[in-house]
Amino acid sequence: MLAGGSGARIGAGRNKVYLPLGERTVLGWSLHAFAAHPEIGTVVLVTRPEDAEQAGREVADLAPVEIVTGGATRQESEWCGLHLLADRIAAEAVDIVLIHDGARPLVSSALISAVLAAARADGGAVPGLLRDDLAAATPDGSGLPWPPGADALVAVQTPQGFRARPLLAAYDRAREEGFVGTDTASCVQRFTDLPVRWVPATSTTSRSLTRTTSRARNALCPSSPDETIGADGRPGTAQLPPALPVVVARRTGRPRLRARQPPTPPARR
């Protein structure tokens, strides 16, 4: 579980994973989702040195959670977390490792199970959403095929899961060679021959803590967890604000990006 963000992009002035979201923090929901999952043996929380005290409070009532200090980059932090498990991986006490972004608090128990199953079956698995609002440009940048195919692009999310031994070996090689990937899957694909399978995700697992939506979500989350997010991380009955997808509109024969406005809520009587 990666928890090394600074919150700079949302103007929080502190690590965004410790922002309140209902009765827990953002990180608290993520940790509980994994700690409560019946197929998860150990949860490793990778944090910054300056967050050590708060990280300790977050895991106080979660017995299977271990804490390790991360590195200067996301990949270094992943490496630190993996090496806390290195002896257990070598002893085959850990067969699959899932790496999750602590800033994605709405991860569901069902998605965790799906990624675990796919990683055990195929070697690697990443959850993602099909994107119909993006198109792949030609390699030379001269063309933009439109419309994109229904399965053309996938927005990758977390948790990303892989067989533990090749994952650790891939990160050791990346460290030796100075390779820095865009995410866990890119490092695995660079240094192993493991197939990486796509697992369908939902929009609730998107990391959508922006300056405005974080405030809206806090306002819409009452103190009762069964009205917001369940103990396993699944969304409950609270209606979160709709996302603002970017769509491509045609104008004078050229594609133009614009934001689709959310629907106007009905007036209350």
Spatial CB neighbours of 223, under 8 Å, sequence gap ≥ 6? 22, 23
pTM of the model: 0.74
**Direct distance between the N- and C-terminal alpha carbons of the chain, in angstroms, rounded to an integer:** 45
Q: pLDDT at position 227, please?
A: 32
**Digit-coded pLDDT (tens) for 102-150:** 999 999 999 999 999 999 999 999 999 887 777 777 777 777 766 666 5
The highest-level CATH class for domain 2-259 is alpha beta
**Mean pLDDT value of segment 190-202:** 92
Is it the case that residue 99 has pLDDT exceeding 90? yes
Spatial CB neighbours of 152, under 8 Å, sequence gap ≥ 6? 131, 134, 135, 136
Sketch the domain layout of the chain as residue ranges: 2-259
Q: pLDDT at position 133, please?
A: 72
**Digit-coded pLDDT (tens) for 54-90:** 999 999 988 779 999 999 999 999 999 999 999 999 9
SS3 for the chain is CEECCCCHHHCCCCCHHHCEECCEEHHHHHHHHHHCCCCCCCEEEEECHHHHHHHHHHCCCCCCEEEEECCCCHHHHHHHHHHHCHHHHHCCCCCEEEECECCCCCCCHHHHHHHHHHHHHHCEEEEEEECCCCCCCCCCCCCCCCCCCCCCCEEECCCEEEEHHHHHHHHHHHHHHCCCCCCHHHHHHHHCCCCEEEEECCHHHCCCCCHHHHHHHHHHCCCCHHHCECCCCCECCCCCCCCCCEEEEEECCEEEEEECCCCCCCCCC
Most confident of 25-34, 212-221, 240-249, 254-263: 25-34
Q: pLDDT at position 149, please?
A: 63
